[in-house]
Amino acid sequence: MEADGFVRRRRMSAETPGGDAAVAGASAGAEIRWLGGRLWGVSEGIVGSLAPRIGGEAELSAAQYYGPQEVSETAEPDYEELPQGASTSTYMLAGAVAGIMEHCLMFPIDCVKTRMQSLQPDPAARYRNVMDALWRIVRTEGIWRPIRGLNATAVGAGPAHALYFACYEKLKKTLGDVIHPGANSHLANGAAGCVATLLHDAAMNPAEVVKQRMQMYNSPYRGVLDCVRCVWQREGAGAFYRSYTTQLTMNVPFQALHFITYEYLQELLNPHRQYNPSSHMVSGALAGAIAAAATTPLDVCKTLLNTQESLALHSVSQSGGHISGLAHAFRTVYRLGGLPAYFKGVQARIIYQMPSTAISWSVYEFFKYVITKHQHERWRSQRDGEK
């Protein structure tokens, strides 16, 4: 909310000659520039080879957005207007950082969710709730056990979320201009989220398979590479995409509901669409919770397809084969636990998704704002140097 106020003060200082507003705007601007500069210094190390491209795109974005007219020295860049430029790399960088942070910070809860969705768990892996599961896993299997498989997730989450956010932002703007020009379109938001999910899941699905197999109780794999090698040798390359259609069946409605809810809440909490951390966090958390609860049955089926849980296979006389396809998974879940089985782990899933989506949106919007501001200031300094 201080950032929200900062944007308003900056705009007031550009429009009205009030001395107090000018001083407040200059002071807040100095603080944000210092923070943005420090964070950008860290970000440039991550971007690496993207830096020259971002710089070039900054010039194009600023030239297209501001046109030939003179720009006020105190004008703030509107980070929501980036699609008018060509700054796709901004979305990709911000999305990659957000995805890696989201998955890494929430990984222990994700481990608990995977175990609580087990249809035929070992007696030693039956947990009352999320905290009981975490405590028993750490006590009996070691402090590092809840983050086993984290490296596979981090490797997959970076490119998956880079594609995800870049595709979403571009399509949201393009479809919005066609469906409802000049205003927010829920249909455009949902459609953009669905298409972005296709790219995200294609990049993330193999990492999900490895991650969930290593999260299971008594997982036989020594590490990520051992898991990849064993799955490849025993089940073939197709095993890494066995749950892809189920993942899409789950994530397309999940992301459509997620993005529509997030954009709707942003209209209520942040109608001017300025950088407002609290609104991004609250909107992301509520959107994630609603979407997670609605799609839990599909997540249970996806977990079964990914893990090929041995006790479940034996229970349904599938010891010689594999569970394949969404319909087969649905029948197996119902046969083993009835209707309640479709909501196994729903508490853990909501507890995982609420902070997860809050972190993702907060980090994404923050980096988008910082990178946009850096681009704007670079363009402005280059313009001043040419005068």
Instruction: Tell me the whole-structure pTM to 2 decimals.
Output: 0.66
Question: Where along the chain do its domains lie?
Answer: 88-372
pLDDT > 90 in the chain, percent: 35
Q: Is the pLDDT of residue 139 over 80?
A: yes
Encode burial over 239-259: b for 16+ CB neighbours within 10 A, e otherwise. Answer: bbebbbebbbbbbbbbbbbbb
pLDDT, mean over the chain: 78
Which CATH number does 88-372 carry?
1.50.40.10
Mean pLDDT of 294-305: 89
- Confidence at 327, pLDDT banded by 50, 70, 90: confident
pLDDT at 209 over 80: yes
User: Residue 304 phi/psi, 5° resolution?
Assistant: -65, -40
pLDDT at 387 (0 to 100): 66
Tell me the pLDDT band of 31, cut-offs 50, 70 and 90: very low
Of 50-59, 142-151, 183-192, 361-370, the range with the lowest mean pLDDT is 50-59
The pLDDT of residue 318: 55
The answer to whether residue 177 scores a pLDDT higher than 90 is no
Average of pLDDT values for 7-21? Answer: 41
Q: Summarize pLDDT for 66-103 with one digit per residue, the tens.
A: 344 344 444 455 555 443 444 788 888 889 999 999 89
| Confidence grade of residue 317 (pLDDT, cut at 50, 70, 90) | low
What pLDDT is attached to residue 164? 92
Count of CA atoms in the C-beta half-sphere (13 A) of 4: 12
Reported as a single tens digit per residue, the pLDDT across 241-270 is: 988 888 888 888 888 899 889 989 999 998
pLDDT of 5: 45
Residue 233 predicted with pLDDT over 90: yes
Please state, for a pLDDT cut of 70, what percent of the chain lies above it: 74
pLDDT band per the 50, 70, 90 thresholds, residue 310: low
